[in-house]
Structure formats: C-alpha cells, structure tokens
Amino acid sequence: MPNLISKKIIFSTIIFLSYSYIAGQSEVAIVPDKIKVGDVAPLWVLPTEPDKQNLNKVEFLHNWAEKNGSNLLNPKINSNRHIVVMSFSASWCPPCKKELPILNNIYNDYTGKEVKFFIIDITEATRDSDKEMFKNAPKIKDFLNELGVDIPVLYDIRGKVKENYGLTGIPTLYVIDKYRIIRMMKIGWDDETKDEYVLDIKSLLNKLLKE
C-alpha cells in the first residue's frame, strides 16, 4: 500500500512538472502576436478535468503531432501522427454556441480517422473577472450537454495556452498538421459563412490526411 501511494505521488509530481515546463516552454517559443498560419504550433499540456489540484489526467499536443524529425511523446502507445483540430471556447461566449454544434458535426464525420478534435475551454480562466457574465458562467460541460456537443474538452485553467496562442477573441479555431504546423486559423463566427466554414475545414482535413 505505501508503495502504491508513493507511485501516485511521484506520477502526480511528474505530471505537474511537465505541465509547468511545457507552459513555460511554449510561452517563450513564439511571441503571441506573431502567431500565424505556417508557424510551428506552441506545445501545450492541458488537464482533461477542470481541477487545478488534480493533474493526473492530462493531454499533450505532442501525443499526436510533432515537428518533422522529432518523435511523438509516447510512440510506443501511439505511433501514428494525427491532425489536431482545436477550438478555444467558453460557456459565456454566444458565437461559440453557434460554432460548436457545426464543429461537432465535422468531428463525427471524421470518427476513426487520424484527426483529433479538442475544445480548449477558457471559462475557468476568466471566472475571476469582475464581469458578471464571466463570474456566473455555467460549467462548460453543462453548456456542451445542452448543445449536444461531445468533442473532448481540455481545460486552460490558468489561461496560459490562450496567451501563448495570442487569442484576440473566441471562438478561435486552429488546424494543426501532423508535423505541428498551423495550417488554418479561423477567428470568430459568421452565420452567413457557416457553409464556407465547413467546406474549408473538411477540404483541408481531406488534403492533410493524404499527405
């Protein structure tokens, strides 16, 4: 029993240090306002649960995509590179409410293919604001359940990843190829161009899957 407890403590410590290291590393790697299509995507490691004290369950960008010439984080478990589609969102964001169901349809269309979809939630990162809309925002899981969205959620609890990616508004969507290059950025939402939104993403994903 003591050995099991020790192993859990060691594992949690490793994850915490990894979280701190990657957050710091990506913050230095690229100046936020210079992020653009063609750049190497900043690394991140994010929890899969909205709990600052529990970092046992985390996801790494380089579990799925990594620079050419570098290995994935754990190739013994996952040796196949994936395209990563990620959208920064929050439960207080009205345009996100329109974007996410459309994105969820795309997610379902690519089930079983080498494409990973994530929602990067910043609801908790903004909850300490003085604005009522931020303080009283519902939990993202409740928000997504109402919308019928089941894309996996990662929690940018400290707001470091949104800073590293230089967010100017949400929703902001990134498509990152298998070699960690940003191939698409879409900022905001426009009902009039939703068909174009779907076509652009699907066309790019189909192209990248063939590369």
Read off the pLDDT of residues 86-98 as tens digits, 9 standing for 90 and up.
999 999 999 999 9
pLDDT band, residue 27 (cuts 50/70/90): very low
The tens digit of pLDDT for each residue in 70-116 reads 999 988 778 899 999 999 999 999 999 999 999 999 999 999 999 99
Strands 83-89 and 172-176: antiparallel
Residue 50 has pLDDT above 50, yes or no: yes
Give the number of other CB atoms < 10 A from CB of residue 117.
20
Distance set, CA 138 to CA 126, 155, 169 (Å): 12, 14, 19
CA distance 40 to 174: 12
The 3-class SS string of the chain reads: CHHHHHHHHHHHHHHHHHHHHHHHHHHHHCCHHHCCCCCECCCCEEECCCCCCCCCCEEEHHHCCCCCCCCCCCCCCCCCCCEEEEEEECCCCHHHHHHHHHHHHHHHHCCCCCEEEEEEECCHHHCCCCCHHHHCCCCHHHHHHHHCCCCCEEECCCCHHHHHCCCCCCCEEEEECCCCEEEEEEECCCHHHHHHHHHHHHHHHHHHHHC
CA distance 21 to 127: 24
Please give the backbone phi and psi of residue 8, each rounded to the nearest 5 degrees, phi first. Answer: -65, -40
Higher-pLDDT residue of 156, 133: 156
Please give the backbone phi and psi of residue 70, each rounded to the nearest 5 degrees, phi first. Answer: -110, 150
pTM tops 0.85, yes or no: no
